[in-house]
Amino acid sequence: MEKKRRNRAKQILTLDERLARQAQSLRMRACHTASAQERSLLFKRARQMEEARDISALLSAPASQPVRAKDLSSKGCNAS
C-alpha cells in the first residue's frame, strides 16, 4: 500500500490576499447571476471569506495591540 504524498506547493499569495480575491470573485459572480437563490448563496460565501480574513487578522495581531471590530455589514454589488 502506497503512502499518500502531501501536496507541498508553496503559496504565492498570503492567506489574506487569497481570501480577498475569492470574496471579490464571488461578489462579481453574484452580481451577474440571474437566480436569486444562487446570488444569495454567493453573497453568503463572500461574507464568510471576509469574516475569515477578519478572524485571521485577529489571530495574527500582536497581543499588545487591541484589534478594533470591523463593520461586517453585507456589501452589495457596487462595493469594491
Per-residue pLDDT of 14-59, as tens digits, reads 999 999 999 999 999 999 999 999 999 999 999 999 999 999 988 8
Q: Which residue has the cell 480575491?
A: 21
Q: Compute the 3-state secondary structure of the chain and give helix, strand, coil in percent, each to the nearest 5.
A: 50, 0, 50
What's the CA gap between 69 and 51, in Å, rounded? 11
Per-residue pLDDT of 1-17, as tens digits, reads 788 888 888 889 999 99
